Each structure stands twice: as structure tokens, then as C-alpha cells.
Structure 1
Amino acid sequence: MFIWSGKMDDLKKEEPGSGAGTDDRAVSEGDNNYKFIKQTIRKKPVDKKKWILRIVWTVVFSAGFGIIAAFVFAAFAPAAARILGLEVENKRIVLTTGDETTPTPEPENETVSDASAGSSVSSVSSSSQESSASSSPVTSQGSEGQDQKQEEDGSTADSLTIDNLRQLYGDMIASAREAQNAIVQVTGITNEMDYFRQNYENRQQVSGLIIARNNNLLYILTQQSVVENVQSIQITFFDGTTADGAFLSRDAATGFAVVTVDSGSVSPTTDSRITTAPLGSSYLVSQADPVLALGSPMGYGDSVSCGIVTSVSNTAETSDREYKLITTDIIGSASGSGVLVNIYGKVVGIISQNFKVGDTGTVTALAISDISGLLETLTNHDPIPYTGITGQMVTQDISGRTGIPEGELVTAVDEDSPAMLAGIKEYDVITEVNGKTIRSVSDYTDIVSASAENDTLNIKAMRKGAEGYAEVDFAVTVAIRQ
């Protein structure tokens, strides 16, 4: 290493032909212009603190980058797969119903018959109420004096106060909080033109229920009339946020439909609070049970009504199926929708005013345990086997009083259905299908549901003629409900 001071002109080139020793002379002559400094090069000491900070920042940056990349991939992977036409494998959705976790009150010193789940629960409930009612006047010694003193004070220990009532309703609402987070508002939007050729949006709105989640898709049960043949579907969640929905499937017999929502289009905060509906068992529902109607029982959204079950003995007959109805004393609109929830917060019925009993103006629901199979079929977009028969069961007792043979009495046959094409008529009594005796409408439903398209059902029926009932055979080819 050297330091040079001076001008460029001071440097002279070596003349050609100069002899040996020129270099020494040049160096000697330039002593005044060149100074040589001797230096020792040492390695710079390692700054351990700086390296540790670098390693820490590298790890933190890598972890942050990985987390961001994971979120971005999760958000955009489904959309990218759809754009590129890649198929995303969907797991089959299985819906389960039941109140296995619901504690069943058991009266002390009583034996409960296990003949059936429904009867046992009813007997427990009624017996406990009776025992409490009968035992309430009986207290320990000296109670008469206490009761007399309380009466003199104008109050009783068991009197129901406003605070007690408020607490009771508050507890019921709190138990239904999970189900409320699964309730959405579904809006079907169509663009129409008025008489002045001006475009306007026509909006129809009903309640929907989130019944499943699979591969970033939310599956929402709603009414077919609102979401079919519309330009767009808008879903409004419990916190007011909205997302676009897509029509998936429908069942014309019940009027139910399923739409889907990509959870990636929902804000992370809302998505973390969304729940799938907790499905209970409608087999455990009995008369006088308290229930809540959530959704739009009165025709407008985000409402809650309280009442009791008035009947569980009525049924709704549709093509190839029969469903139990739960009727209540809750006032409802003809356009009402939503769900019935028991005091444990479990959904026990889907409100469907299409099947209401009489002109009562109260809320009627299809029992969840009866329609869970249909909901699973709609959610998985499976085909629905169909023959087109609507019927009622003729029991042994009815047969003895009316003379009609035991079996499923055909009350209606759908036009151009497989049953009509096979020759089945109204008032025929189906007694056997594929060698199995029909003892209930559900027997026939199970056989049809287990069939595939173009399967043949060999049906034996009794048809009334001039000389009484005679057996006739039919071969019905199963179709798929459109």
C-alpha cells in the first residue's frame, strides 16, 4: 500500500532502450513523491451480539413469512382451484341428531319404564311434576306455622316474581345462543323491469340454518322458493356481515333447498364465531315442552318467540315420505321461517308453514329427526329416488273399523310419476314391496331411499273392485326427483 502526493505529470514513463538499473533510479528519484507504509492486516473481531440479533431476526421473519403464506394459501387455494378447473375432494357430510348430552331428570325413588325413549322421558317429566305438585303442601314439622306466618306477611317462598321470570327467559335465550349464531338471513335477488321499462331489484328474504361445514364451504338450509331461479343470493350472518351464496340442491316435496358460501369470502372474525347448528332429537319432544322459535317465525328477521309444544301427533305426507309435525302455540306468519329450539339449545324442528295444521296462525315445524336423512342427501347433492306415491298407514285398528286392508293407503299419485306409469291408482293399498311387508309409511320410504335410478320395485297392492278387494301386482321403475 502506498500514498502518492503530486501531479500526474510528475510520473514519467520509462524510455525505450534504457539500461539496467533504471527501475532503481526511478524509485530513487521519486523518493520525494512516494511514501511506503507498512501495515499488518488483522481479522476483524466477531461481534457476537450482532450475529445473535441477525439470527433472531431471521427466525422471526421466516416464521412470519410462513404464517402469512399459510393464510394466503388457505384463502386463495379454493378460488385458484376453481379458476384452474382443479377438483377439490370433498368429504362426505354426515349429519347426526340426538340429545345424548342432555341431562334427563330422574325422580327420586321411582322406577322408569324403558319401553321407549319418548315414553320414558314423558313419564319422568310428568311423574316428577306430579310428585312435586303433590308433595308441595307436605313439609317438615312446624311448616304450617311458617306458611301461616308467610301468608300473614303477604308473601310465599315459592312465589314467582318478575325477576324470576326475567331470569327464566334469560336462561332460555342464553341456552339458544349457539343456535342463534348458526341462523342467517338468505336473500334472493332478481332484476325485473316495471311498466316504464325501468330496472329494479326484487328481493325476497327468509331465514337459513348453517347445518354443515366442509372444505371451506358453509352449507345453509333454506327455502327453495327464495333461492331458485334468481340472479344472485346474499347471505347475512348474525353480526350483519354479508357474503355471496350459490345454489346447490333442492327438494320440491318439502320446499327445502341448500345453498353454499365460501368461508374465504367471510371476514376471519365472523368466520371464527360461526357455528353449525346443534341438532337435537325430536323423538324426545312431547306436549307442553317449552321451545323457542328463532329466525323469522313472524316473517321478519332476527326475532325470538317463546311458547310450548301443543302436539306431536300430526304428520305431513309428501311423495314417498312421511314426516312428523311439531305444532306450537307460538304466533307465526304464513311466510314464517326458522327453527324450533328446545331449552337445551338444540334444534328440534325446521319451521315450514307449508305443512301447518289448519288455519291456526301458529308456528309448525318438521321434526328434525325425520328430515335429517333428507338434509344429508341435499347437503351431499345426492340424487333423491322417487316413485311419486303419497300415502297414509292403515293400522289393524283402522282396518277392523273400516274394512280397508292393512298397509299403506295411496292418497295421491303424482302426474307422470313412475307409480302412475306402472298403473298404481288412488285408494290402492300397498301391502308388500320386494317381498317385504309394509307395516308403516317409513317401511316404504326406507325401501325407496335405498334404491337407485332404474331399479325395479315389485309392489303388491289391494285394489277395491265390485266384489271387494283383490290383489294386483305392479313393477315400478325408480326415477330421480327433479
Structure 2
Amino acid sequence: MEIHYKSRPWNFKKLLYKAMVMLVCGAVFAFTVVAVFYMLRRPLRKAMGIDDDNRIVFQVAGTEAGEESGETATVREASTVENAEASSDYYEAGVKANRFLVGVNEVSTEGYGGKRSYSDYGYGIIIGKTKKTVVVLSTPNAVRGMNATQVTFFNGQTVRGNVSATDTETGISIIRVELKRLDKDTLRGLEVAKLGKSYALKRGNYAAAIGNPLGDVRSIVVGQFTSVGGKTRLTDREYSLLETNILGKRHTAGFLVDKSSTVIGVITHREDEDGENYTIKALGISDLSVLTDALCNGKERPFIGLQISTISTETARAYEIPKGVYVEYVYLRSPAVEAGIQKGDILVSIGKREIRSAKYFAETLDQLKPGTTVKVQFMRYTKGKYKRMSADVVIAKR
């Protein structure tokens, strides 16, 4: 007996329904993945020092304290470490820092065909990346007015870099190197430096000087801070001056790092030092953060035109003077001199904010836009006593 099977007809409506459900589920899943990626994209890129808008985002790390951070720590004589076998943790930190340390050599081109002149060797650290460039912060006076540099990376590759901004007072510059100039080995190995909290340092803390502290290319010397309370005063702000017992050369260039390879200071030159050798000093990296951000991202820098210092509570009590910010010098052709502020005045407020220190003064000034008018209150010694006065100051641009 022959059996015939009757084929079941296709239910096209049901198949279409299932297809639509699968399509909708796939679309929802894809949308969710894209949304999550978009939300995480910027934090991830910022963590790597990259920003889509070409704005440089700095990596900031904590500064270790530990058993070395006390004010009463014993300061030992600095030791020169010549190889990794004899190294301390700080020497190893200096070695690791080579990934973000670069050599900087000036190049000046004149006329067609390019006459070139080269300067003494300087250094820089990689502080960020954009889609197209690596961004380098140089040591003071590494480029000295030049418009181009030769930048040498950790593996010896040397390429041209362009100087995008320079601060004439501190001498630090921002250099940009196009990523397309770098080979795969350099791109794979370079790192972005983490910037530490130099204000947390204590006398007796250790540091490694990297750059050329011995006069040799990429040498490393380990030592301790002998003072962290010094100040160097420039226009409208104070910078912390970190002093070490590390003996360097007169024209030493480089940076100070802690045992996590975090940058905590920029080695600076002192023209008043006598002799070929001197103990290394550095500007605290925390105090340079606002300046570095402005140079990197093209921000306007407000200007009043004062050289100032903080009057501590102890000084105010000892000399029976008001607490605030002492005006040591007023620059000619500045908003301050036009407003009538004089040497010897003690600033007590800007706008509605009380000014307790030079740091408060700088922070308040940085929040003001050039062209705005702000009321500055100050104490002036006249007729045997201090009298509160005020002046309207028009903020200028550097």
C-alpha cells in the first residue's frame, strides 16, 4: 500500500513575525553596545591622555609619603647610581621614566635651503596625545625662542617637533610631534607621564633626577629633598622651589620623579649659582599645572602685573601687620600700576574672595577673564597705621 504525505503549507505570517522580532532584538542589542561604547569612550581616552577635541588631558597621580615623608627624616648624602645592579627603587623609577622622557635639541631654519643651528641638549616629557600629535613639556630654556626642535625618543628615533607655545618667564615650552613621523616601535613603546602632587612632598623624601644631571645623556642620580618650602616669585604668582642634595652640573636639564616614576619637579637653572657644580633645584610640578594647561590648550592667561609673597600668620603677628599677600613689586604698564596699587600694599581680597596667600591670589586670578573689571581691596601703611583701600583693576591678557 502506497502512503502519500501531504506537505504542510508555510505560515508566512508567523515566519515574518519571527523575522521582525529577531531584527528588532538585533537592533536593540546593537544600539545598546554603541551607547555603552560611546559613554565609555571619552573616559577611556582621557585615561590614556587622548582627547577627541585635541585638548590635552593630564594624567595626575598621587605622591607617595610612607616612612620617608616626615619633616624630621634624616637627609643622607646623595648617591650616584651607575647601573641597574646597584640601583634603588628610585633608580628603577628613573629607568622606567625613559619611556616618557625625550631629548630636545633646537633647530632653526633660515631662508631657502635651510641653514640650521643646534643648541645644547635639553629634555622634555610626554604629557599627552591627540589624534595627530604627541605633546611634550620641555625643560626651561630648552628651545630659547626657536620655532622647531629635534625630539629624540626612548629608542633613539629622532624626528622634527614644532614649538607651539612658550612661557618667557619660566622658559618652559610645549612641543608637538606629528604621530605620522613616528615608527611603529616608538608608537608602541612610548608612555604619557603622570604628574604628581608636589605640594605633598616633605623634607627627607627621596627623588630621582632624570635627564642629564651628571652631564651625560639620560643619566640618573638619586638623592633627597633638603628643603621644600622655598619660593621663586614671578609675575602674579609664586612657584614652589624644591631643593635637593643631588650634585649636578651647572647646565643640568631634566625632571625629578618619585619611586612610581611620577613626575614631581622640573629642574630649573639658577643664574646666581657659582661654579660648575651645584645642588639640583626644581619647580614643583603642581604649581605649573595651570600654566601648562594654558600653553597646551591655547587658553588666555590673565595678567595684573605684580610680584607678590605670602604674609604668614607668624610674620603678621611678629611685625603687627595685616595678613594677606604682600606686594613686592609693581610692573610698569600693567593693570596694577594703572589702578594705583603700590609696592608695600597688602592685598586682602579680589572681588568677593578673601586672599590669604599667593596661591589663593593666583587661583582667583586664573578664574578671571581678560577685559573684566574686578575690585581689589588692600591695606596701605599711611600716617603710622594701615588703612583699607580699594581699586578697580581691569584684567589684561599676557
Q: TM-score, normalised on structure 1?
A: 0.64
1:436 is the counterpart of 2:353: yes
Structure 1: gaps (5+ residues): 1-87, 107-117, 130-164, 194-198
CA shift at 1:451, angstroms?
0.7
What's the secondary structure of 2:221's corresponding residue?
Answer: strand
Whole-angstrom CA distance in 2 between matches of 1:292 and 1:355: 23
1:175 is the counterpart of 2:93: yes
Match of 1:391 in 2: 308
CA shift at 1:307, angstroms?
1.1
RMSD of equivalent CA atoms: 2.9
Structure with the larger strand share: 2
Deviations 1:330-352 (CA, angstroms, capped at 9, x unpaired): 11233222110112221111111
Structure with the larger helix share: 1
CA shift at 1:175, angstroms?
2.8
| Structure 1 contact 288–310 (Cα < 8 Å) conserved | yes
CA shift at 1:310, angstroms?
0.8
| Structure 1 contact 317–390 (Cα < 8 Å) conserved | yes
1:322 is the counterpart of 2:285: no
CA shift at 1:472, angstroms?
2.1
Partner amino acid for 1:318? L
| Structure 2 contact 105–118 (Cα < 8 Å) conserved | no
Partner amino acid for 1:122? G
CA shift at 1:397, angstroms?
2.0
Q: Could you say if the C-alpha distance between residues 434 and 364 of structure 1 is closer, same or farther in structure 2, counting changes exceeding 3 Å?
A: same
Match of 1:277 in 2: 193
Whole-angstrom CA distance in 2 between matches of 1:437 and 1:407: 9
Partner amino acid for 1:434? G
CA shift at 1:295, angstroms?
0.7
Q: Could you say if the C-alpha distance between residues 303 and 202 of structure 1 is closer, same or farther in structure 2, counting changes exceeding 3 Å?
A: same
Q: Could you say if the C-alpha distance between residues 219 and 296 of structure 1 is closer, same or farther in structure 2, counting changes exceeding 3 Å?
A: same
Partner amino acid for 1:246? N
Give the fraction of aligned pairs with identical amino acids, expressed as a percent: 26
| Structure 2 contact 330–341 (Cα < 8 Å) conserved | yes
Match of 2:254 in 1: 338
1:347 is the counterpart of 2:310: no
CA shift at 1:192, angstroms?
8.1
CA shift at 1:200, angstroms?
6.5
| Structure 2 contact 133–177 (Cα < 8 Å) conserved | yes
1:94 is the counterpart of 2:57: yes
Q: Could you say if the C-alpha distance between residues 105 and 226 of structure 1 is closer, same or farther in structure 2, counting changes exceeding 3 Å?
A: closer
Runs of 4 or more consecutive aligned structure 1 residues displaced over 6 Å after TM superposition: 355-360
Whole-angstrom CA distance in 1 between matches of 2:293 and 2:207: 24
For 1:291-302, what aligned pairs fall within 5 Å after superposition?
A: 291-302=207-218
Higher RCO structure (Cα 8 Å, ≥6 apart) = 2
Deviations 1:181-218 (CA, angstroms, capped at 9, x unpaired): 1111111123689xxxxx76343321111111111311
Which residue, 272, 286, 293 being the options, matches 2:202?
Answer: 286
| Structure 1 contact 458–474 (Cα < 8 Å) conserved | yes
Whole-angstrom CA distance in 1 between matches of 2:311 and 2:95: 42
Whole-angstrom CA distance in 1 between matches of 2:325 and 2:232: 14
Structure 2: gaps (5+ residues): 1-50, 75-82
Q: TM-score, normalised on structure 2?
A: 0.76
CA shift at 1:228, angstroms?
4.7
CA shift at 1:263, angstroms?
1.3
Counting matched residue pairs gives 336
